[in-house]
Amino acid sequence: MQNLTYFDDPDRLDRRRVLRLIAGLSSGALLAGCGGGGAGGGDDPVASPPVAAPPSAAQPAPVASPAHPLNLPLTLAYLGGQYFSYAARGTSLPGVLTGGGASAVTGARRLDFSDSSVARLAADMADDKAAHITALRGQIGATAPAQPAIDLSASAGGPFSLAAQRAGIVSTGQSFDPYADETHFLIGALLLENAVAATYRRLLMVEQDAASGVIVAGHLADSIYHGGVIRALLADRAAATPDVDAMLTRIGTMLAALDGTAGSDQILPGGDANSSNLLDAEGRPIPFTRTDRQVLSALYLSSAGPGGFLPQGVPGIA
């Protein structure tokens, strides 16, 4: 199939009109939940942003500011961006985005999609993550951390397989390959994206800098969209295949154990057989919150320290 390139997919335009309206909501509206909508203006498509060089990209490897609240969202954007970029195109994010001295991505590869809609979603999300990285690095400034080491391998000892083993999806020593097909890919995406909106919502509640708050509010809206689409596509597959439904339930239990929330990571099963949790919510139409430590425990696949998807940890955080 033809490779999609950054910011050139015409199918993105209608969706970006919706995101423009969502991002225009006040932070108070986002925290209060989903309300009745007003009409947006015009039918002109929203132009996709170019991949811009982050500030000080030509400088030596920057050292992260431990106190900067956007360091973790930047790492999440690196992680998700590389997963979607490799799956959709078989290539890394552009080096200008990942910073001088960026560490390597290991084990990722292109997926031979049979479902063009999921293929377009992967390319779209890679583009969105690239835009997030540009905005976050620009806001953090010269101390923005370069990309840390990222492990996206499908081997039996890789993080996707270790997560699947811990959840009871595969047996100990067996592999879980997120590049095998669309369902595996979406489960892999869920593992990486599950707490992104939760991270942004926590930041929105405490961020005092106005410029950072604008970025956080916009990225929160985008992350809610990402998570909802992933869950909706998985819900379709779970409805048709009981094994998929069982896998998602086990993943939710595992993530709740890792982040210490004792069962509050809702995945798909709703209150009865006729409902599904398509939003990552705690009984309300807003995203749940997670502390930095809870998010990192889920990505490290351990509360003891670095490992899993981020084998050397996160600069400026842990």
**pLDDT tens for each residue of 157-169:** 999 999 999 999 9
Residues 6+ apart with CB under 8 A from 145: 62, 63, 64, 71, 74, 75, 99, 314, 315, 316
Q: What is the pLDDT of residue 46?
A: 33
- Which of 47-56, 87-96, 185-194, 213-222 comes out lowest in average pLDDT? 47-56
Average pLDDT, integer, range 187-207: 89
More confident residue, 273 or 152: 152
Q: What is the pLDDT of residue 4?
A: 44
Q: What is the pLDDT of residue 290?
A: 84
Sign of CA dihedral 36, 39, 44, 46: negative
Identify the DSSP state of 40.
P
- Give percent of the chain above pLDDT 70: 70
pLDDT tens digits, residue range 1-25? Answer: 444 444 444 444 344 443 443 333 3
Helix (H) / strand (E) containing 133: helix 116-140
- Which of 71-85, 264-278, 279-293 comes out lowest in average pLDDT? 264-278
- Give percent of the chain above pLDDT 90: 49
Average pLDDT, integer, range 21-37: 34
Q: Residue 38 pLDDT more than 90?
A: no
Average pLDDT, integer, range 96-106: 93
Each domain of the chain, given as residue ranges in start order, spans 51-300
- Which of 102-111, 113-122, 284-293 comes out lowest in average pLDDT? 284-293
Q: What is the pLDDT of residue 261?
A: 66
DSSP H helices in the chain: 12-23, 27-32, 71-89, 95-98, 116-140, 159-167, 182-193, 196-206, 210-240, 242-259, 292-300
Q: Which of 134-148, 274-288, 289-303 has the highest mean pLDDT?
A: 134-148
pLDDT tens digits, residue range 55-84? Answer: 333 333 333 445 688 999 999 999 999 999
22: left (phi over 0), alpha (psi -120 to 50) or beta: alpha
Q: Residue 318 pLDDT more than 60?
A: no
Output the average pLDDT for the chain: 77
Sign of CA dihedral 147, 175, 171, 122: positive
Q: Which of 177, 193, 179, 73 is nearest to 118 (CA)?
A: 179
Which pLDDT band, with edges at 50, 70 and 90, does 291 fall under?
A: confident
Q: What is the pLDDT of residue 266?
A: 54
Joined together, the tokens standing for residue 35 give 């309300």
The model's pTM is 0.77
Q: What are phi and psi of 317, to 5 degrees?
A: -130, -60
Q: Residue 41 pLDDT more than 50?
A: no
